[in-house]
Chains A and B, each alone.
Chain A
Amino acid sequence: MIQVSNLTKRFRSSGQEVLAVDRLSFSIDRGEVYGLLGPNGAGKTTTIRMIVGLLQPDEGYASVDGFRSSDDAEEVKSRLGLVSANDGIYPWLTVREMLLFFADLYGVAPAAARSRLEELVALFDLGDYLNRRCSVISTGQRQRVIMARALMHAPPVMLLDEPTRGLDVVGSQVVFDYIQYLRKQGVAVLVSTHRLDEAQRLCNRFGLLHQGRLWQEGTLAELQSRTASNTLVEMFMQLFRVGGNTAPALTQAVTDPLDTSGQRTG
């Protein structure tokens, strides 16, 4: 459903060129949840933006359902749902108005949109604040609204960019339920998250991204055999050491034992 091939993106900053994504390739099938994992600045968000067609790749391509983002952006966008922790909402619209507005943007006929809204209200339990303005709802409620918004046009592909950022345990759980639900619906899901424990439980396959490059890719079992690590967290730490992204002094400081007065001994 999603095909990413040799995707490359460079940014220019203060006369210098930064390679944000470097020849990235992977694919995601229907009903598959793909975890794009990596530290901050690894290129996860840039990759998602290129898949949506919001950024133009310098090389390579991303395609959804056979349509390339760079050539047929509108076809691609109509097949995508996007959930991001940074997604804003219109403060002066009610939840109902905003959801119907986005259904309209995605070309859902008004009658179908109203019916879809009822289904999603039941699914996400939005009834209590459906007619409240978005500016007055809580962070957790806001995240539910954003997830419902991405589903208004029933997209076959869902992209989730750090969907649990800023959420508490309950809020995060709703997101995980959401991903499970999407998998059951046969939606191809790409999720970028730093909640590695949950990602390990939810995703079918993983892509470990570091400095724009796909460091490892495969199922958990494949990654375990290749990296000789049991968990994604261990794999990540290994990745950090390889990439030299750790702060050695800080690491040393926290690993040195404390003396009786509470001072570090090392």
Chain B
Amino acid sequence: MVDNPAAPPSSPRVRIVRGTMARLLRLCLKELRETLRDRRTIVTLLLMPPLLYSLLGIAFQKFIMTAFDPPDRVELRIGVESDEAKASLESFLAEGTRLLRSQQDQPAAEPSGLGTADPSPGARVDPAGNASVASNGPAQEQTQTEDAPQEQSAVPEVRRVVVVVVRPGYLETAVRDGFIDLGVNLTPVSQAGRPNWFRPLHGEFIYRTTSALSEAAVRYAEERLDLLNHDFVQRRLPTMLRLRWPLELPVEMTHRRVRAKPVSVVGTLIPLILILMTVTGAVYPAIDLTAGERERGTLETLMAAPVPRLGLLVGKYVAVITVSLLTAVVNLGAMVLTIIATGLEEMLFGPGGLSFAILAKTFSLMVLFASFFAAVLLALTSFARSFKEAQSYLIPIILLALFPGVLALTPELVFSRLLAIVPVINVVLLARDLFQDVADPVLATATVLSTLFYALAALGLAARIFGTDAVLYGSQATWSELLWRRQRVSEVPTVAAALLCLAVVFPVYFVSANLLGRWGANLGTHLQLLVAGATTVTVFGLLPLAVAILQGLKLPDTFRLRRTGWVCLPAGLLLGVTLWPLAYEICLLNQWLGMLSFGQDLIESVDRQLKSWRGVHAGLLLGALAVCPAICEEWLFRGYLLSALTRVTSSTRAILFSAILFGAFHVVTSVLALERFLPSAFLGVVLGWVCWRTRSLFPGILIHACHNGAVLLIAYYQPELQRRGWGHEDRTHLPLAWIVCALASLLLGSWMIWFATKRSHASRENK
């Protein structure tokens, strides 16, 4: 140290800086520098993938060369649509086989042009076809024909042929999906003008292109039916000529090719590879930036800085995602190069090869996977006190994460609305459907939203754990103490706690509402409404209350249980009753934006529900579906959540963020109806502003209840309103006068609230 410094250092102004974007960016950059300069990361990130994929590519190429050689004996599956057709085809094939055998016994007598279609040399058995034959398709019944004779040497020997009955109308689908190799649609030709003994049939052969099995099946059936026709002509030709009937064949054959469903290595394997790639990339930085901090001895200094833990964690989170994505991109690049270099492109990705669309989809899914896994890994490694401990936590999680990846390999698993909110499984199934071009936009939205939400919740948990004394100094603490330990005496909840609370509320409510919808019909409408009300109170009311009590928060401050000026009440009433036209018009915006997920079946089911409610007293309906949700949702969103958000960010951002979550909540909990996002978010903004302005939950509850009540009563009394000529057609704009009135009411109500809180708000700002 320099002795006697000439001048004392200046004193920069000390201040606690809340999370600004620039600062967050600097935090991320520091974490990235720290991670990317480590040689171990570089080795994992850049050197391993090219090496690994080259080796895998060689191995895979070898495997394909040996595994996809045609087997010596194959089984063919031919589908028809009825038992009658099955019996006919079986008899035709049996007769054709008999004729073929007799012809083989007398080679000289072989009829020209029949059964001579040479198989294409070097035909290969479609691996997809093989896989599909073994699976349970839509076949309802199957029988085995007699053993087929040996085919020519260039094609595999047909071990046996099975004729199965497929559900009517599903023949083409069954062929496309590979459940059968050939579909034969046998239909009778009109009997008019023909003798009774002659009942010709039209046989349409439906088969897959680019499938050796399918072609073998066509050849097999065609050869026998040709012989049958030939035999018929030989036997009946004199009679036909004598009677001057037109020359007809018993089975007229036409062909229809269908494109094989792309079986996708892409759809099945890529989700698994994506999991591996993103997890591999995220593991090292997640451990290094959490447990590594403690091992290096930097954690204490870091925790001694006046930075909220969540801020630190967000910086680390972005760094982990970035490294994870970098690893995944390098992996992907190495994989693509290997595939192109080894010539496996078409085999793996179909005739189109590896397209930009596939790469774009893959990258989007990587971002989603990385967002989720980075947060989960950070949450887990935040518990660890050393690298070794962190690794022992992560290994079971990585193995667990592989399980949903394997699920994508089961094509029977249908991506449902319930699965759309199950973590990891939802992204895996979305990936599968996305690569097979059958992704449902509603399920995709639900998947993205719920995944990001789980990521937020995991971050919230990490922020609660990271740097606690139990981790920092290895203090003895129970798990419950670790999770629920009071960080400090506080009036309002932390954002981490609020996110954690929401993460519990969303799925619990979603599952309970779905179960109620499924089993509620047996309860009767009255009991169903009561159970719905009780569920709302439990999930939205009691759960946040329990969390707040466990955290030792001041309930009046957390839930904003304050009295407010009397002017706020008529203002709330005015807003509540007149907001619905604006919400309705915003809902119509969805049509313009193309965000429609209500199918006709859903609309009809809502109509049925409305009709059933007409048998219930309006008071009970209002209580269960208007007042109860209004109180409980305000309790959670404007009470617990908004209080937490205003603690760490500006009121505008807090209101907007809580409104977005409010909108997302209504999407997820109302059978994933995307239409509900915009109007709910709009209401969230209004309710948030009123709550912030009045510092009380009560005006918001009044607005919310009145709004819900107005919408409900309009639906309830719809027939009466229509009889009086006040009806309104669904999905059309309201009269302009109504919208103008609603806007005027919104302005007037807002002004009244602004005016009523002007003084108290100003004094609060001055403070």
* A→B interface (CB under 8 Å): 11-14, 49, 52, 54-56, 70-75, 77-80, 82, 84, 86-93, 97, 101-109, 112-113, 115-116, 119-120, 122-125, 133, 144, 147, 149, 151, 153-155, 174, 177-178, 181, 184-185
Bound together, the chains give a CA A92 to CA B140 distance in angstroms of 66
Bound together, the chains give a CA A208 to CA B181 distance in angstroms of 90
Bound together, the chains give a CA A73 to CA B307 distance in angstroms of 10
Closest to A111 in B: B12
- In the complex, what's the smallest C-beta–C-beta distance from B265 to chain A, in angstroms? 39
Closest to A156 in B: B14
Closest to A148 in B: B1
When the two chains form their complex, are residues A104 and B26 in contact, meaning their CB atoms are under 8 A apart? yes
Known contacts A71-B488, A116-B10; 17 further A-B pairs (Cβ under 8 A): A11-B475, A11-B476, A49-B473, A54-B473, A55-B473, A74-B307, A78-B15, A78-B16, A84-B300, A88-B296, A90-B34, A92-B35, A93-B37, A106-B14, A112-B12, A120-B9, A178-B1
Q: Give the total of B residues in contact with A, Cβ under 8 Å.
A: 47
When the two chains form their complex, are residues B11 and A125 in contact, meaning their CB atoms are under 8 A apart? no
Bound together, the chains give a CA A10 to CA B345 distance in angstroms of 65
Bound together, the chains give a CA A184 to CA B3 distance in angstroms of 12
When the two chains form their complex, are residues B469 and A54 in contact, meaning their CB atoms are under 8 A apart? yes
Bound together, the chains give a CA A21 to CA B308 distance in angstroms of 27
Q: Is B5 an interface residue (CB 8 A)?
A: yes
Nearest first, the 6 closest Cβ-Cβ pairs linking A and B are A88-B297, A107-B17, A92-B37, A77-B306, A154-B11, A105-B305
Bound together, the chains give a CA A79 to CA B12 distance in angstroms of 12
When the two chains form their complex, are residues B12 and A87 in contact, meaning their CB atoms are under 8 A apart? no
- In the complex, what's the smallest C-beta–C-beta distance from A123 to chain B, in angstroms? 5
Known interface pairs A92-B37, A97-B33; A177-B3 also in contact (CB < 8 Å): yes
List the B side residues contacting A86 at CB < 8 Å. Answer: 297, 300
List the A side residues contacting B489 at CB < 8 Å. Answer: 70-71
Closest to A52 in B: B304
Contact of B304 among A82, A89, A93 (CB under 8 A): A82
List the A side residues contacting B33 at CB < 8 Å. Answer: 92-93, 97
When the two chains form their complex, are residues A153 and B488 in contact, meaning their CB atoms are under 8 A apart? no
When the two chains form their complex, are residues A87 and B300 in contact, meaning their CB atoms are under 8 A apart? yes
Contact of A116 among B9, B300, B476, B488 (CB under 8 A): B9
- In the complex, what's the smallest C-beta–C-beta distance from B33 to chain A, in angstroms? 6
Bound together, the chains give a CA A84 to CA B293 distance in angstroms of 16
Contact of B23 among A93, A104, A174, A185 (CB under 8 A): A104
When the two chains form their complex, are residues B306 and A87 in contact, meaning their CB atoms are under 8 A apart? no
Bound together, the chains give a CA A78 to CA B14 distance in angstroms of 7
When the two chains form their complex, are residues A77 and B304 in contact, meaning their CB atoms are under 8 A apart? yes
- In the complex, what's the smallest C-beta–C-beta distance from B294 to chain A, in angstroms? 9
Interface residues in B280-324 by Cβ distance below 8 A to A read 293, 296-308
When the two chains form their complex, are residues A144 and B304 in contact, meaning their CB atoms are under 8 A apart? no
List the B side residues contacting A144 at CB < 8 Å. Answer: 1
Contact of B14 among A13, A70, A104, A153 (CB under 8 A): A153
Bound together, the chains give a CA A123 to CA B2 distance in angstroms of 5
Closest to A113 in B: B12
List the B side residues contacting A104 at CB < 8 Å. Answer: 23, 26-27
Contact of B476 among A12, A75, A90, A92 (CB under 8 A): A12
Known interface pairs A78-B306, A80-B304, A101-B30; A108-B2 also in contact (CB < 8 Å): no
Q: Is B8 an interface residue (CB 8 A)?
A: yes
Bound together, the chains give a CA A181 to CA B9 distance in angstroms of 11
List the B side residues contacting A133 at CB < 8 Å. Answer: 37
Contact of A124 among B2, B11, B300 (CB under 8 A): B2
Known interface pairs A54-B300, A123-B2; A153-B308 also in contact (CB < 8 Å): no
Contact of B12 among A71, A91, A101, A108 (CB under 8 A): A108
Report the number of A-B residue pairs with Cβ-Cβ less than 8 Å: 145
Closest to B293 in A: A88
- In the complex, what's the smallest C-beta–C-beta distance from A156 to chain B, in angstroms? 8
Q: Is B72 an interface residue (CB 8 A)?
A: no
Contact of A102 among B9, B17, B305 (CB under 8 A): B305
Closest to B38 in A: A92
Q: Is B446 an interface residue (CB 8 A)?
A: no
Bound together, the chains give a CA A56 to CA B485 distance in angstroms of 10
- In the complex, what's the smallest C-beta–C-beta distance from B678 to chain A, in angstroms? 37
When the two chains form their complex, are residues A154 and B9 in contact, meaning their CB atoms are under 8 A apart? yes
Known interface pairs A84-B300, A91-B296, A151-B9; A177-B1 also in contact (CB < 8 Å): yes
Bound together, the chains give a CA A79 to CA B306 distance in angstroms of 9
Bound together, the chains give a CA A13 to CA B476 distance in angstroms of 6
When the two chains form their complex, are residues A56 and B469 in contact, meaning their CB atoms are under 8 A apart? yes
When the two chains form their complex, are residues B10 and A115 in contact, meaning their CB atoms are under 8 A apart? yes
When the two chains form their complex, are residues B301 and A87 in contact, meaning their CB atoms are under 8 A apart? yes
Q: Is B472 an interface residue (CB 8 A)?
A: yes
When the two chains form their complex, are residues A74 and B15 in contact, meaning their CB atoms are under 8 A apart? no
- In the complex, what's the smallest C-beta–C-beta distance from B17 to chain A, in angstroms? 4
Interface centre among B1, B472, B476, B486, by most chain A C-beta atoms within 10 angstroms, is: B1
When the two chains form their complex, are residues B488 and A154 in contact, meaning their CB atoms are under 8 A apart? no
List the B side residues contacting A151 at CB < 8 Å. Answer: 9
Closest to B17 in A: A107
Closest to A107 in B: B17
Interface residues in B453-508 by Cβ distance below 8 A to A read 469, 472-473, 475-476, 485-489
Bound together, the chains give a CA A216 to CA B656 distance in angstroms of 57
Known interface pairs A55-B473, A70-B489, A82-B304; A123-B12 also in contact (CB < 8 Å): no
Bound together, the chains give a CA A213 to CA B204 distance in angstroms of 97
Interface residues in B8-47 by Cβ distance below 8 A to A read 8-17, 23, 26-27, 30, 33-35, 37-38
Contact of A90 among B1, B298, B303, B487 (CB under 8 A): B298
Known interface pairs A153-B14, A181-B1; A105-B307 also in contact (CB < 8 Å): yes
Contact of A119 among B10, B13, B298, B486 (CB under 8 A): B10
List the A side residues contacting B476 at CB < 8 Å. Answer: 11-14
When the two chains form their complex, are residues A79 and B14 in contact, meaning their CB atoms are under 8 A apart? yes
Bound together, the chains give a CA A22 to CA B17 distance in angstroms of 35
When the two chains form their complex, are residues B14 and A155 in contact, meaning their CB atoms are under 8 A apart? yes
Known interface pairs A12-B476, A71-B488, A90-B34; A122-B14 also in contact (CB < 8 Å): no
Bound together, the chains give a CA A186 to CA B297 distance in angstroms of 29
Bound together, the chains give a CA A13 to CA B475 distance in angstroms of 8
List the A side residues contacting B303 at CB < 8 Å. Answer: 54
List the B side residues contacting A12 at CB < 8 Å. Answer: 476
Bound together, the chains give a CA A75 to CA B299 distance in angstroms of 19
List the B side residues contacting A147 at CB < 8 Å. Answer: 1
Bound together, the chains give a CA A90 to CA B34 distance in angstroms of 7
- In the complex, what's the smallest C-beta–C-beta distance from A32 to chain B, in angstroms? 17
List the B side residues contacting A105 at CB < 8 Å. Answer: 302, 305-307
Interface string of B168-185 (1 = CB under 8 A from A): 000000000000000000
List the B side residues contacting A93 at CB < 8 Å. Answer: 30, 33-34, 37
- In the complex, what's the smallest C-beta–C-beta distance from A68 to chain B, in angstroms? 9
List the A side residues contacting B26 at CB < 8 Å. Answer: 101, 104
Bound together, the chains give a CA A112 to CA B296 distance in angstroms of 28
Known interface pairs A56-B469, A97-B33; A87-B297 also in contact (CB < 8 Å): yes
- In the complex, what's the smallest C-beta–C-beta distance from A212 to chain B, in angstroms? 16
List the A side residues contacting B469 at CB < 8 Å. Answer: 49, 54-56
Known interface pairs A90-B298, A92-B34, A151-B9; A107-B2 also in contact (CB < 8 Å): no
Bound together, the chains give a CA A12 to CA B477 distance in angstroms of 8
Bound together, the chains give a CA A97 to CA B33 distance in angstroms of 10
List the B side residues contacting A73 at CB < 8 Å. Answer: 306, 487-488
When the two chains form their complex, are residues A82 and B5 in contact, meaning their CB atoms are under 8 A apart? no
When the two chains form their complex, are residues A154 and B304 in contact, meaning their CB atoms are under 8 A apart? no
Bound together, the chains give a CA A185 to CA B10 distance in angstroms of 10
| 14 A–B contacts, CB within 8 A, in A order | A49-B469, A54-B469, A73-B306, A73-B488, A77-B305, A86-B297, A86-B300, A88-B297, A90-B298, A105-B305, A107-B15, A112-B12, A154-B10, A181-B1
Closest to A72 in B: B488
Bound together, the chains give a CA A84 to CA B308 distance in angstroms of 22
Closest to B35 in A: A92
List the A side residues contacting B301 at CB < 8 Å. Answer: 82, 84, 87-88, 102, 149
Bound together, the chains give a CA A151 to CA B8 distance in angstroms of 12
Bound together, the chains give a CA A126 to CA B299 distance in angstroms of 24
